[in-house]
C-alpha cells in the first residue's frame, strides 16, 4: 500500500466548447418554460443525459414524427443533410445544437465534391459514429477509412482529398496520411480535428507517463473518450476507463488504486466538471484513509 497518493488532473479535460454551447441552448429554453426534445443522444455522457431526463428532456431516436408541442434540438454530432432537408420540408421547428466545428467538417466535406476525374475523397473516422454518418451525407462519393489496413487497401488515385473526424487521434491521423502519401501524387489534406480534442490528447500524453495510474472518465460510447483512453494506455499500462465517479465504488478496484503513489485523471469532452471533482475528491479521501490506516497500524505496533 502506498503511503501517500498524489492526484493530478490533466491540464485540459472535460467539457469542451461545443458541449457547453449545446447544454446552454437546452437549459435556457427549459428555464424559459419551453418543452424540449433532443434528436439522438445530445452528447455521449450518461449522467448528463440522466440529468436532462430528470428535467423532462428526452432524447428521441427518430424524427419522423416529432412532438409538435416540443422544440426539437439537433444533437452536437449533427444530422445527415437529407434528414435536415426533410425537417425543413415538413415545417418542423428545430434548433441546431450541432457543434460549429462539426458543422465546419460538414461544410468542408461538401466542398470536396469535385468533377475532377480520378479523385478519391476520404473521410478518416468511425463510419458508425453519427458525426461521420452526417458528414458523409454531404459527399456521398467519399469513402470512410477507419484503420491502417483500410488505408493500405485503398486504390491509388490521381488525386486524394482528405478530411477527418473532429475527435480523431492526432497521431493515428498522421499515420493514415503517411500511408495515403504513397497512393497519389496529389494529396489534399484538411485537418478537421478540433482544437479541444488536440489539447486534451496533448495534456494526457504529458501526464500519463509521469503517474503510476490513469483514470479516464467519459461515456463508453464517446469517441473522444475512447481516444484519450487509448493514448493514455500507450503511455501507461495502468489506465482505466470509467463512466462516472460511482464506478470507483468497487473494493477490488480501489484496492488496486491504493498501490499507486500518483494517479492522473483525464476526461472526455462530454464529462461535466462536477464529475471530475467528485473523482478527485474520492481519490483524495482514499489518500487520507490510507494515512489513517497506516497511523492506526503504527499505533497498534507501538502499543504491542
User: Of the ranges 14-22, 149-157, 181-189, 206-214, which one interacts with ligand F3S (CB under 6 A)?
Assistant: 14-22
Q: Check residue 167 for interaction with ligand F3S (CB under 6 A).
A: yes
CB 119 within 8 A of CB 158: yes
Segment 258 to 277, residues that bind ligand F3S, using CB under 6 A: 269
Contact partners, residue 109, CB within 8 Å, separation at least 6:
121, 123, 135, 136, 138, 139, 142, 163
CA geometry: angle 73, 47, 38, nearest 5 deg: 10
Task: Give dist(CA 271, CA 20) in Å, integer.
Answer: 10
Cell numbers placing 153:
487497401
Q: C-alpha cell of 215?
A: 483514470
The verdict on 170 binding ligand F3S (CB under 6 A) reads no
Stretch that binds ligand F3S, among 4-12, 13-21, 32-40, 136-144 (CB under 6 A): 13-21
What ranges in 70-142 are assigned the alpha helix state H? 81-89, 100-111, 130-137
The closest residue (CB) to ligand F3S is 18
From the list 7, 13, 16, 132, which residue makes contact with ligand F3S (rule: CB under 6 A)?
A: 16
Residue 156 is classified by DSSP as P
Nearest-approach distance from CB 44 to ligand F3S, in angstroms: 10
Separation of alpha carbons 107 and 121, rounded Å: 14
Q: How far is the CB of 167 from ligand F3S (least distance, A)?
A: 5
DSSP annotation of 281 reads: H
Nearer to ligand F3S, 154 or 203 (CB): 203
Whether the CB-CB separation of 262 and 6 falls below 8 Å is answered with yes
131 is catalytic: yes
Nearest CA among 267, 262, 269, 258 for reference residue 294 = 258
Work out whether 25 is an interface residue with ligand F3S (CB under 6 A): no
Cell match 494526457: residue?
204
Q: How many other β-carbons are positioned within 10 Å of the β-carbon of residue 289?
A: 12
Smallest separation, CB 27 to ligand F3S (Å): 16
Among 63, 97, 177, 194, binds ligand F3S (CB under 6 A): 194
* Contact status: 164 vs ligand F3S (CB under 6 A): no
C-alpha span between 18 and 99 (Å, rounded): 5
Nearer to ligand F3S, 14 or 213 (CB): 14
Catalytic residue among 131, 185, 274, 293: 131
Which one, 167 or 184, has the nearer CB to ligand F3S?
Answer: 167
CB of 268 to ligand F3S, least distance (A): 8
CA distance 133 to 40: 13
Residue 207-236 contact track with ligand F3S, rule CB under 6 A, x = bound: -----------------x------------
**Of the two residues 26 and 286, which places its CB atom closer to ligand F3S in the complex?**
26
**Among 197, 225, 245, 287, contact with ligand F3S (rule: CB under 6 A):** 197
Which residues share a beta bridge with 7?
Answer: 263
- Binder of ligand F3S out of 41, 45, 71, 76 (CB under 6 A): 76
Tell me which DSSP letter residue 32 carries.
T
Figure out which of the listed residues 7, 10, 13, 19 binds ligand F3S, where binding follows CB under 6 A: 19
Question: Which residues bind to ligand F3S, rule: CB under 6 A?
Answer: 16-19, 76, 99, 101-102, 166-167, 194, 196-197, 224, 269
Q: Which residues are catalytic?
A: 131
Amino acid at each position: 500500500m502506498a503511503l501517500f497518493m498524489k492526484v493530478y488532473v490533466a491540464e485540459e479535460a472535460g467539457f469542451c466548447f461545443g458541449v457547453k454551447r449545446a447544454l446552454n441552448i437546452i437549459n435556457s429554453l427549459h428555464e424559459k418554460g419551453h418543452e424540449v426534445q433532443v434528436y439522438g443522444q445530445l452528447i455521449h455522457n450518461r449522467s448528463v443525459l440522466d440529468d436532462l431526463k430528470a428535467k423532462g428532456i428526452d432524447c428521441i431516436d427518430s424524427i419522423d414524427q416529432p412532438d409538435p408541442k416540443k422544440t426539437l434540438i439537433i444533437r452536437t454530432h449533427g444530422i445527415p443533410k437529407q434528414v435536415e432537408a426533410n425537417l425543413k420540408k415538413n415545417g418542423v421547428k428545430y434548433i441546431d445544437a450541432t457543434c460549429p466545428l462539426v458543422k465546419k467538417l460538414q461544410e468542408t466535406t461538401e466542398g470536396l465534391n469535385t468533377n475532377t476525374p480520378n479523385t478519391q475523397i476520404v473521410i478518416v473516422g468511425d463510419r458508425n459514429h453519427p458525426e461521420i454518418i452526417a458528414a458523409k451525407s454531404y459527399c456521398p462519393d467519399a469513402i470512410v477509412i477507419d484503420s491502417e489496413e483500410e488505408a493500405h487497401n485503398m486504390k491509388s488515385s490521381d488525386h486524394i482529398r482528405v478530411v477527418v473526424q473532429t475527435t480523431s487521434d492526432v497521431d493515428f491521423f498522421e499515420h493514415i496520411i503517411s500511408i495515403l502519401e504513397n497512393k497519389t501524387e496529389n494529396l489534399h489534406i484538411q485537418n478537421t480535428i478540433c482544437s479541444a480534442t488536440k489539447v486534451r490528447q496533448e495534456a494526457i500524453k504529458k501526464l500519463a507517463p509521469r503517474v503510476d495510474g490513469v483514470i479516464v472518465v467519459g461515456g463508453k460510447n464517446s469517441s473522444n473518450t475512447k481516444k484519450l483512453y487509448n493514448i493514455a494506455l500507450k503511455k501507461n499500462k495502468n489506465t482505466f476507463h470509467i463512466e462516472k465517479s460511482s464506478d470507483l465504488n468497487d473494493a477490488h478496484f480501489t484496492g488496486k488504486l491504493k498501490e499507486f503513489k500518483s494517479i492522473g485523471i483525464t476526461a472526455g469532452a462530454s464529462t461535466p466538471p462536477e464529475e471530475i471533482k467528485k473523482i478527485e475528491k474520492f481519490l483524495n479521501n482514499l489518500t487520507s484513509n490510507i494515512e489513517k490506516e497506516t497511523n492506526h497500524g503504527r499505533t497498534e505496533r507501538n502499543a504491542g
